[in-house]
Amino acid sequence: MADRGKEMIFGYARVSTKDQSLERQLAVLEPVCDKIISEKESGKSTSERPELLNLLSHLREGDTLVAHSIDRLARNTRDLLEMIDGLVERGIVVRFLANGMSFDNSPQSRLILTMMGAVAEFERGMIASRRNEGIAIAKDAGRYKGKQKNKELHSKITEMLLAGKNTPDEIAKLCDCGRATVFRVKKEMMSTEQV
């Protein structure tokens, strides 16, 4: 983006797959934006979208970032809130056309961002709670097995332990796993008297 002397309104359009069209978003962004950045990226976090990262790095105080809807800008609530918070602190306004929401560094915007953050935190807590309840029910029914062993990794660790040429720390580095995994395999071997 070339050097510029005035505040600008930037649009950001994104679709998740190469087959989807940007036309609907561009149609509402073009009348209100000085420049539009678009990309086709599927399910990637904000840090994995090069066009968005480039745009965010070029925004200056007084600029406005416009997106058709919240879900076009960020994949999850945490990313969204962190992005908006960082932008408004830099003096950049963030607007969403679909719901008419606009965020700046005003007390009202800060209140809304704080409330959205609290709702997102509550939502994460509820998801974790439901997941834990589901696991408990599955365990009681004998259907929950937990994380399954990587048999190939365990076999490699077993071979190295039996060879006796490496320390557990070295084995962990060579196998790209944690020390706890090596010691768990060693403990299993000792219980079956392989060592």
Q: Of 107, 58, 106, 101, give the one whose Cα is nearest residue 80.
A: 101
Q: Are residues 82 and 162 in the same domain?
A: no
**Could you read off the pLDDT of 121-150 as tens digits, one per residue?**
888 889 899 999 999 999 899 888 877 778
Is 110 inside a domain boundary? no
Please say which residue of 82, 104, 126 terminates a domain. 104
pTM metric for this prediction: 0.61
From the list 78, 72, 75, 108, the residue with the least C-alpha distance to 93 is 108
Strand order from edge to edge, sheet including 102-103: 35-40, 9-15, 64-67, 93-96, 102-103
- Pair (16, 97) in one structural domain: yes
Mean pLDDT for the stretch of residues 72-78: 81
Q: Evaluate whether residue 157 is within a structural domain.
A: yes
The residue from 16, 102, 129, 191 that is catalytic is 16
Spatial separation of the C-alpha atoms in residues 83 and 45, rounded to whole Å: 12
Catalytic residue check, 42: no
CATH code where residue 13 lies: 3.40.50.1390
How big is the CA angle at 107 (ends 73 and 126), to the nearest 5 degrees?
55
Instruction: Determine how β-strand 9-15 pairs with β-strand 64-67.
Output: parallel
Q: Do 16 and 100 have their domain in common? A: yes
Lowest-pLDDT range, 64-68, 75-79, 142-146? 75-79
| Final residue in a domain of this structure, among 67, 88, 104 | 104
Q: Does residue 167 carry a pLDDT above 70?
A: yes
Average pLDDT across the chain, whole number: 88
The confidence score (pLDDT) of residue 1 equals 54
- Whether 191 shows a pLDDT value over 90: the answer reads no
Residue 42: count other Cβ atoms within 10 Å of its Cβ. Answer: 10
Ranking 3-12, 25-34, 47-56, 100-109 by mean pLDDT, the lowest is: 3-12
Q: In which domain, by residue range, is 93 found? A: 9-104
Predicted local confidence at residue 55, as pLDDT? 96
47 is a domain residue: yes
Is 76 inside a domain boundary?
yes
Residue 75, pLDDT above cutoff 80: no
Say how many residues make up the chain. Answer: 195
Place of tokens 């408990």: 136
pLDDT at 2: 52
Same domain, 99 and 165: no
43 has a pLDDT exceeding 70: no
Domain count, the chain: 2
